[in-house]
Structure 1
């Protein structure tokens, strides 16, 4: 097509010679589609999205976590439920006490979220490459469990020192002024062992928790998505976020129940230093016998509220950030409705 008007004559050259036009205007038009990220760039986006979603959700729920931890550590004092626990802490220590441990919580779960979500996507892809897409799809629950378990192991290495600091700040008022002070005091007085004395129970808590979290989420999302009768790509961003929230609530409830006994033991073991010659295993066994089944599930109600809320928030925020960053080309194993 050629323009006859002298006013638009210069455009004839642009149409006929696009290469010359590109040299003249090297900046590409915003309508051009960018290549989706792959490799390290893709997994860096997954990790960043996971870090942000975990830091935001865990940080926002710090007051609930404070009450839950107090119920676990002092059931003889905080024995009238979550709402009364809030009132007791505020009356005794002021409302600021509900934010105790916010620093290590946000920092710890930022690191943990990066390793957990980024690692989950990486190990899921690695397993799929090893066994093949068809086999992985047929056994996708096992893939979800395996990938999340491996990812959580490495995430806990990063989280454990900061979680130990958080619990010490919450369980011992006046221990330190915050993250830097608490971290430094444990480092001076107890060294590396003080940070990782709870690593065993943390693995016992976090690995089953994360396995249930991702596996139940993936299955729940697949089932709920099937009710829409459409593939995810055809749904609006708002509806996908709603599906992430609903699936996250279901996953959070299951994960909280499964990991509750280990969460109680983790709080207990980080509350105080080990006696000379006392091993972590012997401490855990002694605490379990002392607490009994009822004690191990102390604080379950507040924790289920907290975990269901933060898990729903995590998957919703994670999905939204991935979409904004263009990191939507991860490997999917779910059987979704066809267009």
Structure 2
């Protein structure tokens, strides 16, 4: 793959500034967006650990809001924001680094899809090491009553004090099982889909406006998202179950509270 020359107004491709911009973009893309869907994630984690806890998402949100208010619906947003900001930095920044390393330096003649798959797998493998402790804390916070911890800092201290640093990483293998296939499918499908769309349109990417390019990227991302979410779901359930604190069947207390509030 030949290195493209940047226009004067653009960041030079594969420069330090380029990789830094990709890493920053990853933080913005993952941290705030995962935090915004904390209400969905909260109910998802609880239902994965105990399928009988709530009958539906709406019923769950009504129950949580009636007892804890809106703040309760967003419980766990702190470790979510921190963890997925780190993960986004490693995933998007690392993907571009490894795509350049594999495609331009180590294996320039290899099929591009193979490069996309290899780069995304490597980047996600490393990014999940940063994500895992905060994912573990978040799940424990969201699936226990009374809460395992009130915030990420307290959760970190409690896990380390009782289980050592290994306790923060006991869900790492299923996290890899969830995130690595997810990211491989996402990036490879996205890159292939976007290339196909421009090929179908019959003109190079540079001939379209920024808004039109964003539209193509959005469509490619939407299509990629369907595939990667489907392939990662089984391992996602394992992450929730392994990281939940079931001592004394704490979710049973949630079920009792839910029945009492009816």
1:156-195 Cα distance to aligned partner (Å, 9 max, x none): 1111011111111111142211111112211222211110
Of the three residues 187, 201, 220, the one matched with 1:228 is 201
- Give the corresponding residue for 2:233: 260
Superposition pairs for residues 274-313 of structure 1, below 5 Å? none
Of the three residues 12, 19, 24, the one matched with 1:48 is: 24
* CA drift at 1:89: 2.7
Q: Is 2:85 the counterpart of 1:113? A: no
Structure 1 stretches of 4+ with a deviation exceeding 6 A read none
Change (3 A) 1:223 1:87: farther
Given the alignment of the two structures, is residue 191 of structure 1 paired with residue 164 of structure 2, yes or no? Answer: yes
Query: In the alignment, does 2:39 pair up with 1:63?
Result: yes
Give the aligned CA root-mean-square deviation in angstroms: 2.0
1:241 pairs with one of 209, 214, 218: 214
Distance 1:224 1:35, change over 3 A: closer
Match of 2:180 among 203, 207, 211: 207
Written as runs of structure 1 = structure 2, the 5 A alignment for 1:1-339 is 33=8, 36-37=11-12, 38-80=14-56, 82-128=57-103, 129-132=105-108, 135-136=109-110, 139-173=111-145, 174-272=147-245
Equivalent pair of 1:197/1:269 in contact (CA under 8 Å): yes
> Offset of 1:42 from its aligned partner?
2.3
Structure 2 Cα separation of the partners of residues 141 and 88 of structure 1: 46
Rg (Cα) greater in structure? 1
Offset of residue 92 of structure 1: 4.3
Contact kept, 8 Å, 1:50 with 1:114, in 2: the verdict is yes
* Cα-to-partner distance string for 1:208-263 (whole Å, 9 max, x where unaligned): 11111111111121222233322111211112222222111111111111011100
Partner of 1:313: none
- How far is 1:198 from its partner? 0.3
**CA distance in structure 1 between the partners assigned to 2:99 and 2:8 by the alignment:** 27
In the TM superposition, what whole-angstrom CA distance separates every residue of 1:118-142 from its partner, at most 9, and x where no partner exists?
A: 111111111112222xx33xx2211
Which deviates further from its counterpart, 244-253 or 256-265?
A: 244-253
Shift of residue 273 of structure 1?
Answer: 7.4
Q: TM-score, normalising length from structure 1? A: 0.66
Residues 35, 79 of structure 1: CA spacing in aligned structure 2 closer, same or farther, 3 A cutoff?
A: closer
Query: In the comparison of the two structures, how many residue pairs are matched?
Result: 238
Deviation at 1:35, TM superposition (A): 7.4
Aligned-residue offset at 1:34: 5.7
3-state SS of paired residue (2:11): coil
1-side partners of 2:21 and 2:79: how far apart? Answer: 23
Q: Distance in 1 between matches of 2:232 and 2:87?
A: 17
Distance 1:273 1:68 in 2: 16
